[in-house]
Structure 1
Amino acid sequence: MATADLPGPDSLLRRTLGEWRIGLVAWRLLVLQTADPAVAAGMANFSTYRAHPWRRIEHTMDSGKRLFFADREGLRREVARLERTHRRLAGTDDQGRQFTALDPAVRVWVLVTLYECMTAMRELSGRPLTPPELDQMYGEFRAVCSEFGLSDDLFPATAADVPAYMERTIRERLEYSEPVRYLLFDMLREAPAPRRLGHLKPAWPLVRTVAAHVIGALTIADLPAAFRERFDLPRTRRAALLSFFLHRGMRVLMNALPEHRRYRTPLAGNSSTSQSPSASTDRPSPPEASPVRLPAPRRRKGADGRPARLRTFFRQVLDQTGDGRISSTDMQAMAHNVCWPLELTPEREASVYAAFETWWQQLRAGMDADNDGQVTCEEFVTAMLTGIDAGPGYLEQGLHIALRAIFHAADSDGSGHLCADEYRTIFGGSRVHPAELNHGFRQLDQDGDGRITEAEFVQAFTDYFTARTDTTAGSQLLGRP
């Protein structure tokens, strides 16, 4: 397909994808995409969606914004970023089949389902797009997709051909795998509280139970008929009524809102020259004051605080997949999360992955007693304490290599220091309270100038792993364990 002009601020694609109500079909989109065997295998083997669902969803939304609301330079950077990430997602699924996230047919399916969900959103709301509008939006959509370099023959030729492509793929290729079942019935029931829930966090167990029921019922009701028929997912009358009122109610609400409230993403999009999230000024402001501290477990006076901190580090940082063990997959996920918010060159990104792989090989050599490629929490704690007590060289051979790679990746301007915003960008995970990050930053910023040098950065983590008490600077880097 020849290169065409990208959709602009007034394009039908941006106006449809940018509306808040697109969230009503978001879970439907995830289910359709995950039903592809290669996507399911990638999620089962590499994704952090079980342990960090909200961060995973934020990354997906962020990527969509970069793809469909950017200029051509920004779009090409995001396509290149996705290709570098997906190149690492390959292997063998639980049935012994080879898979790769770079399979052109899989990539086309993931893209076309996004377009199909936009049209479904309009149809479910009672105001479907007209044939000319479908042609217009499909042309805008294909203009973006052309940057992926995929064969035109893999895409439906026209908007009118999309329904047949969807039905054919559903009947011939999709599978009702464990990741699909988990998305439909268990993921929201097990999800940790979103970080932004604030004072409502104690109510999360009840909220997520209700949300899981509503979203699950809505998703099944909204899935294509061919999908429901093939995998025996009946559309109950109650679910159909829920879908009817939610979609039409949201359409009425969106139409009543002023334009600046209607869209979750500004229609003007992102400038290719905008700074990355970690970009800093010459003199950044220090973190805000009055941090809220999380309660610490009771310990005997004078007891060694390292085991509790190491277990916290294992759960909050290392165990990215949430299965109670760490492996090369978890380390790759950590490297991915470091690189994702930053505008790194391929070489700098590769150096981050290589550093984490070096750390993993050190951990595996000293902790994986049964050679199964995995390390449990207690194996990690026991081996780390043994290595730390043996001498400072233990951390230098693994942890420090990864830390220096993180520091240099975050230090985009090569200034030799990190400001508060850069620190938050790297370590502001979904399970870490922002105030605790502020507290950790202030502990390290000894002179109060709002900057952390590489030496301070490495020393902080050394203290976190080695300090026997919680009073040492850096021992509360991730909050009080």
Structure 2
Amino acid sequence: MSEEQAPEPPAAEGLDDGDGAGPAHIFGPQTRFNGLFDDPCWAAAMIRATVLEAAYPPIGAALADSSTFVTRPWRRLNNTLRSFRIMTGPDPVARARETARLNRLHSRLNGTDSANRPYDALDPAARAWVVATMFESTVTMFRWSGRALDQDAMEELYEQFQAFLRLMDPTSTALPASLKDFWPYYDRVVEEELENTEALRTILYRLFDHLPAPPLLEGVPTLWAGARALAGPTIGMITVASLPEAFRRRAGLTEVPGAQALTQAAYLALATARILPEGWITAETLIGLLSQSPDSDDPRIRALASAGEGIKRLGAFLRLMTPLPDEPARPPRAAAADGTLRRTAGEFFDQVLDQTGNGYLDWPDLAAMARELSGRLDLDEPQETRLFDAYAAWWRELQSELDANGDGRISREEYAQAAPSLAGPALIRVAEVLFDATDADGDQTIDADEYRALFRTGFRRELLDANGTYSRAAFIKDFLAFMTGRQSHSAYDPLLASE
């Protein structure tokens, strides 16, 4: 996996911020593009767009190899929405910084697919296809929800999606210049280039049926399992029915009778949510709330605490009244001397190390950790590179110690046999680099603001020293204890673990 860095991108040509021609105008609060984020129908449209992206072989390969969208979908969704908001926001400095971060992230996503074809996330054609699916799915969304766009509105929206692509790649010519030329391009890719990829099958037949509960609802597994058993197949059926017929036929995707009518009804029902007062439903509010852990210090979570008890009672009632099974029961964890709970080696492997959910530990899993931590701390290029380099060194150390059969990856069994006591120099270096990145002011302690930047919650009192801060030694000790699976830590679990 290449560790070369993408160059800092120049400002998008022709996209300034002061004369009505730049992003401040194109992505302004009153534009159709900006309004998409809080349109309830857009969630369904973006699921459809993601499926079409996954069917494009280079994108599908990158998703299958490196993405955490199956095991950590809520984290991925929250991060994606946050990035969208920054990229289309009014601050040109923030936009440039986020663009550079995304380009660095994509520069690390390259390899070969199952057919030995090379892929690169910086490929202009792949980037253009992502934007193309978003635009076309948005147009389809308006049509399905009874708000079909006229030609002028489509032209305006297409211009805005083109501007979004130019933010990422100012010199890109892969997306047709005019809407008139876009439709033949789109039809050609659908008919000639899309495939029934592993990533597509994972989204349609695994993700929705096995979607993990968001952190806020982890305490009510029966209620979540019941809702998912109903909603999962329905979402999959609606998504398949909304795909272009030419692609469904080529990919062998069967449309259930009546699915078209159900799709229309679903989009119309979602569209009715738009009548609620402005600000009642926003994407950030809903996703941010669902992504909060139950012990978060967010006031909204505390306000829901009493309701949570009622939800649990409802879940217990449903468990008695319905045959729906609970999530697979986990054996009780052993308690350490200090009262913290210990994970088994297998639990730690599944919940923390195997970020991509493919059943193995390899470089994409550790790279996913580095991406998440870099994004949380909004690291610039030198700091981000230091963190990735530290994780890369840890990966080499793990391979040397644990890859018994030399296949370039570590199985659950290989890890369980040798790793629980492993805390070598490379992992210590990861802890040191992460501490330095978190300690923004360089005073060798983590204060309340720095702590919140990393953990997205307030200080945990048990971590504080006599001065009310989190010392370097204590941070490294706790991080090593967590990353070697010696203990489950309530502060570190929401950072990397999947419960």
TM interval, short-chain normalised: 0.7 to 0.9
Partner of 2:403: 368
**CA drift at 1:299:** 5.0
Q: Which residue identity lines up with residue 221 of structure 2 in the other structure? A: K
2:446 corresponds, among 418, 424, 429, to: 418
Offset of residue 38 of structure 1: 0.5
Using the TM superposition, name which of 98-107 and 405-414 deviates more: 405-414
Q: Is the 8 A contact 1:467 1:475 kept in 2?
A: no
The alpha-carbon distance between structure 1 residues 467 and 193, as it changes in their structure 2 partners (threshold 3 A), is closer
- Measure the CA separation in 1 of the matches of 2:122 and 2:227: 37
Equivalent in 14, 27, 47 of residue 67 of structure 2 = 47
SS, match of residue 259 in structure 1: coil
Report the Cα offset of residue 70 of structure 1. 4.4
1:21-420 equivalences under 5 Å are 21-151=41-171, 153-197=173-217, 199-254=219-274, 256-261=275-280, 263-264=282-283, 297=332, 308=343, 310-385=345-420, 387=422, 395-419=423-447
**AA matched with 1:380:** Y
Q: Is the 8 A contact 2:48 2:239 kept in 1?
A: yes
Deviation larger for 57-66 or 42-51: 57-66
Tell me which amino acid in the other structure corresponds to 2:22.
Answer: D
Ranges in structure 1 where 5+ consecutive residues have no aligned partner: 267-284, 388-394, 429-433
Given the superposition, is the C-alpha separation of residues 370 and 427 from structure 1 closer, same or farther in structure 2, using an over 3 Å criterion? Answer: farther
Matches of 2:65 and 2:112 in 1, distance apart?
9
Q: Can you list the C-alpha shifts for 1:121-147, whole angstroms capped at 9, x where unaligned?
A: 111111111111111122222223222
Q: 1:27 to 1:144 in 2, by over 3 A?
A: closer
TM-score (norm 2): 0.78
> Deviation of residue 326 (structure 1)?
0.9
Would the aligned equivalents of 1:442 and 1:448 in 2 still touch at CA under 8 Å? Answer: no
Cα distance in 2, alignment partners of residues 317 and 168 from structure 1: 41
The sequence identity of aligned pairs, in percent, is 31
Closer, same or farther: CA 237–72 of 1 in aligned 2, 3 Å: farther
- What does the per-residue CA deviation read over 1:78-114, in whole Å, with 9 as the maximum and x for residues that have no partner? 2211110111111111111111111110011111211
CA distance 1:226–1:296, change in 2 (3 Å): closer
Alpha carbons 1:228, 1:234 under 8 Å: kept: yes
Cα distance change of structure 1 residues 118 and 414 upon mapping to structure 2, 3 Å threshold? farther
Q: Give the C-alpha shift of residue 465 in structure 1.
A: 7.2
RMSD: 3.4
Tell me, in whole angstroms, the C-alpha distance in 2 between the residues paired with 1:18 and 1:301.
45
Q: Give the SS at the match of 1:382.
A: helix
Q: Is the 8 A contact 1:125 1:251 kept in 2?
A: yes
Which amino acid is the alignment partner of residue 348 of structure 2? F
Partner of 1:444: 463
Pick one of 11, 14, 35 that aligns with 1:2: 14
Aligned counterparts of 1:127 and 1:306: Cα–Cα separation in 2? 53
Tell me how many residue pairs correspond in the alignment: 437
Question: Offset of 1:295 from its aligned partner?
Answer: 9.5
- Offset at 1:358? 1.1
Q: Tell me the equivalent position of 1:275.
A: none
Superposed CA deviations along residues 459-479 of structure 1, whole A, max 9, x for unmatched, are 2234557898x7xx9799649
Q: Using the alignment, how far apart are the partners of 2:212 and 2:172 within structure 1?
A: 41
Cα displacement string for residues 229-283 of structure 1 (whole angstroms, at most 9, x for unaligned residues):
33233444421121111212222331x22222254359xxxxxxxxxxxxxxxxx
Higher RCO (CA 8 Å, separation ≥ 6 residues): 1
> C-alpha separation between the residues in 1 aligned to 2:254 and 2:333?
51
Contact map agreement 2:333 2:343 (CA 8 A) in 1:
no
Q: Which runs of 5+ in 2 are unaligned?
A: 1-12, 16-20, 286-298, 309-328
Separation in 2, partners of 1:466, 1:371: 22
Letter in 1 for 2:152: P
Offset of residue 396 of structure 1: 5.0
- Rounded to whole Å, the distance in 2 between the matches of 1:362 and 1:221 is 47
The structural deviation recorded for 1:154 is 1.5
Residues 447 and 5 from structure 1, CA distance in 2 versus in 1: closer, same or farther, beyond 3 angstroms?
A: same
